Amino acid sequence: MSSTARWGVREVSDYYATPQGAIVTFLDSFLQTPEGNKFLQPYPQEKLLRTDLKILDPCSWGNTEPKIYEEKRKGKSVMYDTKMAYPTVLTNYGAINIVTNDIREDSPAAHHRDFTTITALENVHQYDLVISNPPFAFAEQFILNALNLVKEWGIVVMLLRLNFFGSQKRKEFWKANMPTYTFVHRERMWFTPDGATDSIEYMHAVWIKWQNPEFSKLKII
């Protein structure tokens, strides 16, 4: 999601690449938690994800012909990569079993289904991890569907605007679905090739199936 251009109507061909650096920052922090640490291989490969993990990115985005742009922003080079962001980073961390999905037909994802219409896939409770950057307007449905698709005590991670915690209409949603962890990114993200930062802060929210804490543990990263 990007607060600059994802308001209202869902654009099937719209694409805003998630900054891979932000994903790395999140993973490096999350994998230090007790739950995240269970995803890692034992010594001496303890910095790599276990190869038996089954992972789903339901909103993989990406372009069939990915490009890398380099822009100068505040005197620094900004890299903008249009590959599928989460699968690319997770592969670099050693993951080998990643299922990709995106509603866009021009995405290189393996599947092209509308995740908001999925209430029960053929193989529910099959994933260890569901991780993605969902469209803001459909984030609640993405979270609920993802929780249905992970195994017992599986993990769901969504990149969301920090103000997603607001809104009176989501009061009941949070009562029933408080994330276990909230990783707030200090630096504002950019989702476009010009390197212009978005107008709002973002967080990676982490749900652990069957956990419904009264409060979420907060970490600034």
pLDDT band for position 5 (cuts 50, 70, 90) = very low
For 82-111, what is the mean pLDDT? 92
CATH code of the domain made up of 20-63+70-220: 3.40.50.150
Q: What is the pLDDT of residue 6?
A: 42
Q: What is the pLDDT of residue 9?
A: 39
Distances (CA, A) of 215 to 94, 97, 147, 196: 32, 32, 18, 33
Q: What percent of the chain is modeled with pLDDT above 70?
A: 79
More confident: 146 or 68 = 146
